[in-house]
Amino acid sequence: MRREPFDKMNVVPFIDIVLVLLVIVLATATFVTNQTIKVDLPTASSQKDEETKSITIAINKEGEYFYNKEALPFEQIKERLLKLDPKKDIVSLHTDQKSEFQNFVNVIDILKEKGFENISIVTKR
């Protein structure tokens, strides 16, 4: 059996693979840029409005606590957090980088004890 010299390379399969990879990269790049997937939800006649509360807790560098921009002592914030529904309500925690870490841990401890599911810790990029 005689072999023919290798003088040509078939690049069609290579081009197919590159095009598939290009489609995958372009499809995922749009999700990375937007960081969310926009979905237009369908409507239903039996739609039930859920009453969710968005709570903001802030701690400044002096260690003062704020509940929705209202300065309160830690004990009152604890009472208000314990009255919220941990499955529905959303809690955003803003902490100054120069505040004591213990202040942050105090709030997280209450949220964890109560079983909150929707907690966001807000940071700068």
Encoded tokens for 35 = 């960081």
* Domain residue ranges of the chain, discontinuous segments joined by +: 54-122
Query: Which percentage of the chain shows pLDDT scores above 70?
Result: 80
Tens of pLDDT, residues 58-114: 888 888 899 888 889 989 988 988 888 888 888 888 888 888 888 889 888 988 888
Class of domain 54-122 (CATH, top level): alpha beta
pTM score, two decimals? 0.55
Is pLDDT above 70 for 125?
A: no
Distance CA 83, CA 74 (A): 15
Which residues, in sequence order, are bridge partners of residue 119? 91
